[in-house]
Amino acid sequence: MTATFEFKAIQFYGPVTSLAFVRSNILLAGRGSNLSIYDWKLGEVLKEVKLFRRSKIQGIAEVVLGQSTIMVWGACSLGFINKNELLGEFNFSEYILQDWILAGDWDYHGNACVVTAHNLLLHISSDCKRVEKISTCGVGCILYSASIFSNEDDVIVAAGTVFGSIEIWSSKSQAVVSHLKGHEGSIFNLKFSKNGRRVVSCSDDRSIRIWDLYSSQCLAVGWGHSARIWQLIYLSNDTIISTGEDSTTRAWRFHDRTLNCVQVWEGHSGRSIWSLAVAEDDNTISTGGADGRIRLWNIANKPSIIEDRRTINFDDVARTITIKCGNIKQYTATRATAYAFSTMIGYIVLFDTVENSWKQIYYSPALAGYSIMKGWDDKPFFCVGDRQGFIYIIDSDDPSRCITIAPLSEICGKVIEIIPLSKDNLLYVLVQYGDGETPWSFFALKVDNGLSLEYSVALAAQPTFLIASACVHPNSDLIVVGSRFGALAVYSITATHAPIPASGCWRRVISEDCITSVTANYIDDGSIDILVTSRNGSYSVCNIVLSSETETATLDHLHLNRLAKGSIEGATYLQDGLVVWGFRNNYFFVWNETLQYEIMSEICGGPHRQWHFRISSPTEFSFVYTKASSISIVNVCDSGDPSAANSILQEGSHGREIRAISVAPLTNDRNALLVATGAEDTCIRLCNVFSDGRLRNLSVVRKHVSGIQELKWSTNGRYLFSSAAREEFISWKVTIRGKNVYLYPICSAPIERDLPDLRVMDFVVEDTMYNGARCYFVVTVYSDSAIKVWLFNPSKAEIRLLSIGRYKTCCIFKAECYSTDESFHLLIGSSDGHITSWDLSKLRQAALCSPACETAWKIQFPDPEWSLAVHQSSIKSLIIVKDTDALVHESFIIVSGGDDNCIAITKSTKSESNFLPSKEYTVADAHASTVTSLAQLTDDMVLSAAVDQHIRVWQLLPDSKLSLVEDTYTTVSDTGCVSTDSRVDSGGTTLLIGGAGLAIWHVNSL
């Protein structure tokens, strides 16, 4: 009996192709063929409905005054929705026109009009059911864009041609009234001003131009986007909003025949922001990107956050304070609204940002000429060190409570570094002195109706170790210290030695660059996970375990990642994820690494200056920096108006084509799958996929420098393997800590060429044992027909080359293996349409029996045991299915799909000495285009995906034939990979489809 399947599309994370604000709180978004309805002020999804059968929604006409109908179009499809029925059940009819629709709008009398790709204006009847009239201007060239403006007498069309010109024509006279020429590329978008007197356009030449329609003259040209510009909006105050291929949104101000970029927003991943909408009355714009993310941006003069910005000139400080205090040398934050400044002649002055007042709170001649100052951001205390090694702890609320701490050693030199720390009701101060050999001092102070020294200990200084950062263990007496040269040291304060020796010291933890911050992350069973950031733009999570017997510590790397933005100067964990800050070129940035968006940026001149930053939430932070003999203070706090906040309305995924999807055997959440995806953006994303289609992004890992080709997990889920171009093959260690999942690159396959140009197209991985340790037998296949066999040993963090073989001179696209305890057979699908098999059993056995020191690559790669022509051209997908009918001889079934649109069944049967193939069955027209992926649903059900965007289920019949069971269409274009799992979908299977976006489906057997 043939089973039937029900496909249900649950969620789609892909290009947002259209946006429109309607009502006061509703935002409509076209995501594929589905219309998503959001209450953007509350940040909620109200409804999602499929409108078109196949076409993507590429435009939504905003409702004009007096009308209650919304026009929706995409490709050749057109439809209408009653605005009053949006949130209820409504009937929707899809009308198919004869040409591609480029623009739609309502004329002055409330009738719908659309412009097609051949420069025709179609007037739709008042009942929205038929084309009532067709207008043309006689110029029938192909258009890339169009815009409509209407008045009481006429409908004016602005047509952007493929040749770079703009034709302005009238539907009344059906003639061109203005010919605008100046762009040097195809016109991608254009919009009328509110009064219809001007047009703004963008082109393949990356420029934005404003045109006067009466004189046909270009009034201004704006440059700023680093790639093509896709969308424009002309606001009523001569402000232009643009989005482009560079994934930026820019605001432009037109004034005095100049067009200047006044603001830039960055909030999307990958490439291209495809859609743009504005709610001008609410001073809000919305952008939708290729990454599937929908962002809201505030464009009002009064921002969603209250920003207190002021600049302090050094000379003004001297005039404000009655005494002569000298030039300002250093400063630090104290309390939430105050800053303490040290001066060259020994004074400490306090600036209160609320009262805008200065006062002198402390003086010591020992601080004249030299001092170093640090503070506790959330407390009123700060500390100052002098050239004699003394530390002054000052209470900014009550300076009389100042205490002075003498150095523990008589000969110590000046204080060169102070790290203030805190835990519970104790304040800690870690001090390093200038002579380099004096032990570091660690002071603990109790805050109880004043400051008192609780205890002090000396820590043995490490050679060539200049302190840059430190943290204390929240639940123990461990201190972790980072150096300016990339080293970490850990101390146990409970040790009885004096000075206390380091329990462990590790050099080049990330690199030789400065360890800018160390933060306690996760505590479990006597170990400590710490977040370490480096000035080279990388950050790492490390696990430190202290032995209670030997008092020595071991360090294990759990996670390593890098930013694409610049150096990292600090990091912290907030409620919505990991936040890092640092410098790139001449500006300072704050970045939410978990949610992948920029919180703030400030052009400050770069890192080579005095600066201080503190943050308590994404909308509560301050940044102070010195520039040009003045101090700038930026205090930011939440205004309490959520409707005006820059926020993420809809999360997304990769901003480029997804090429690999792999579901982990393990998970960090029992209610969700753990999924790894790789894309052309070179990133690996880890996320949780829930049964309702929700996506929770965990991390974006950047290690590869080229597009990802394949991802696969080990059978126990402890390791992830990835391949890409430039001969990149990386083995990752996977660590689950609560809801966090960490990836650390243990090792990479060696690259033989100075200029690698080959792709690691695919690979197979098999668990095995070597010298009593779990290892992995790996075979990688390359675009030049090379085959390499490796042995990956996680315990030694090494991957060893065993053998090299070669097929022919064509590209190998896919690789699979059939293995038992005694045998290992490699199968490949190549660009010549052949499936070829090698028996690597002896090679595997020889490798596992050889000593570790042997030159393993000397093991000879065998000749193929068979090769069979199965497809007419390249084989793009290949899976092995168990042969349930094998009774006498051992056999397995190979299902393959290729560029010839075919799916083929090949059986490999074991004879006396080897396996022999037989071509069993071919479905010549399985799809209308390349079959890019295959997956096994059940023992006898196979799922196929192709570039034609069809997902089909085939039953494998007892006679090795295929029977089509189900056929459905996916909105994911450039469909390239699929993956299935049945753990979180009760009674069914979760299907993940990757390409230009990520679709999540449920597949149920009926």
- Coil, helix or strand at residue 896: strand
Contact (Cβ atoms closer than 8 angstroms) between residue 338 and residue 348: no
Q: Which two tokens stand for residue 147?
A: 């815009």
Tell me the chain's radius of gyration from C-alpha atoms. Answer: 33
Please report the DSSP string for 760-823 in residue order.
EEEEEEEEEEETTEEEEEEEEEETTSEEEEEEEEGGGTEEEEEEEEE--SS-EEEEEEEE-SS-
Mean pLDDT of 775-801: 94
Nearest to 619 by CA among 597, 646, 594, 588: 646
In tens, the pLDDT along 83-121 reads 888 888 888 889 999 999 999 998 888 888 999 999 999
Mean pLDDT of 7-22: 92
Give me the chain's average pLDDT, please. Answer: 88
Mean pLDDT of 818-822: 86
Domains of the chain: 13-95 (2.40.10), 330-592 (2.130.10.10), 758-869 (2.130.10.10)
Give the integer Cα–Cα distance in Å for 798 and 750.
10
Q: Is residue 185 pLDDT above 50, yes or no?
A: yes
Q: Which two tokens stand for residue 457?
A: 């200990």
Give the integer Cα–Cα distance in Å for 276 and 644.
17
The predicted model scores a pTM of 0.90
Contact (Cβ atoms closer than 8 angstroms) between residue 579 and residue 613: no
Nearest to 894 by CA among 905, 909, 883, 910: 905
**Strand order across the beta sheet in which 440-447 lies:** 415-423, 426-433, 440-447, 451-459
Q: What is the DSSP letter of 587?
A: E
In terms of Cβ atoms closer than 10 Å to its own Cβ (0-12, 13-18, 19+), residue 772 is exposed
Residues in the chain: 1006
Q: Is residue 305 pLDDT above 80, yes or no?
A: no
pLDDT of residue 391: 93
Q: Is residue 20 pLDDT above 80, yes or no?
A: yes
Worst-scoring range by mean pLDDT, 338-347, 581-590, 698-707? Answer: 338-347
In tens, the pLDDT along 433-490 reads 987 678 899 999 988 877 889 889 999 999 999 999 999 987 778 899 999 999 999 9
Q: Is residue 857 pLDDT above 80, yes or no?
A: no
- pLDDT-based confidence at residue 304 (cuts at 50, 70, 90): very low
- Coil, helix or strand at residue 631: strand
CA 656, chain centre distance (Å) = 11
Give the integer Cα–Cα distance in Å for 295 and 287.
5
Q: Is residue 653 pLDDT above 70, yes or no?
A: yes
Q: Which two tokens stand for residue 132?
A: 């009532």
In terms of Cβ atoms closer than 10 Å to its own Cβ (0-12, 13-18, 19+), residue 222 is buried
- pLDDT-based confidence at residue 643 (cuts at 50, 70, 90): very low
Give the integer Cα–Cα distance in Å for 204 and 192.
19
Q: Is residue 675 pLDDT above 80, yes or no?
A: yes
Give the integer Cα–Cα distance in Å for 101 and 338.
59
In tens, the pLDDT along 929-941 reads 999 999 999 888 9
Q: Is residue 698 pLDDT above 50, yes or no?
A: yes
Give the integer Cα–Cα distance in Å for 178 and 170.
10
The owner of tokens 């199965």 is: 870
Q: Is residue 183 pLDDT above 50, yes or no?
A: yes
Mean pLDDT of 679-705: 93
Worst-scoring range by mean pLDDT, 175-179, 637-641, 672-676, 862-866? Answer: 637-641
Q: How far, CA to CA in Å, does 984 sit from each of 714, 802, 843, 935, 988?
A: 20, 39, 40, 18, 9
Please report the DSSP string for 44-63 in residue order.
EEEEEEE-SSS----EEEPP
Helices (H), 22-169: none
Strands (E), 939-987: 941-946, 950-956, 962-969, 977-981
- pLDDT-based confidence at residue 510 (cuts at 50, 70, 90): very high
Of all residues in the chain, the percent with pLDDT exceeding 70 is 93
Count of helix runs (H) and strand runs (E) in the chain: 2, 84
Give the integer Cα–Cα distance in Å for 971 and 994.
10
- pLDDT-based confidence at residue 569 (cuts at 50, 70, 90): very high
Of all residues in the chain, the percent with pLDDT exceeding 90 is 56
Residues 6+ apart with CB under 8 A from 895: 878, 879, 880, 881, 903, 904, 905, 934, 942, 956
Q: Is residue 524 pLDDT above 80, yes or no?
A: no
390 φ/ψ angles, rounded to the nearest 5 degrees: -85, 150
pLDDT of residue 326: 63
pLDDT of residue 903: 96
- pLDDT-based confidence at residue 498 (cuts at 50, 70, 90): confident
In tens, the pLDDT along 237-247 reads 889 999 999 99
pLDDT of residue 468: 96
Q: Is residue 1006 pLDDT above 70, yes or no?
A: no
Mean pLDDT of 216-228: 93
In tens, the pLDDT along 711-763 reads 999 999 999 999 999 999 999 999 998 888 999 999 999 988 888 889 999 99
Furthest-apart CA atoms within the chain: distance in Å: 103
- pLDDT-based confidence at residue 823 (cuts at 50, 70, 90): confident
Contact (Cβ atoms closer than 8 angstroms) between residue 476 and residue 449: no
pLDDT of residue 831: 96
Q: Which two tokens stand for residue 213?
A: 């329609």
pLDDT of residue 325: 62
In tens, the pLDDT along 119-153 reads 999 998 877 788 889 999 888 789 999 999 998 88
Strands (E), 23-119: 26-31, 34-39, 44-50, 59-61, 69-74, 77-82, 95-96, 101-106, 112-116
Q: Is residue 303 pLDDT above 80, yes or no?
A: no
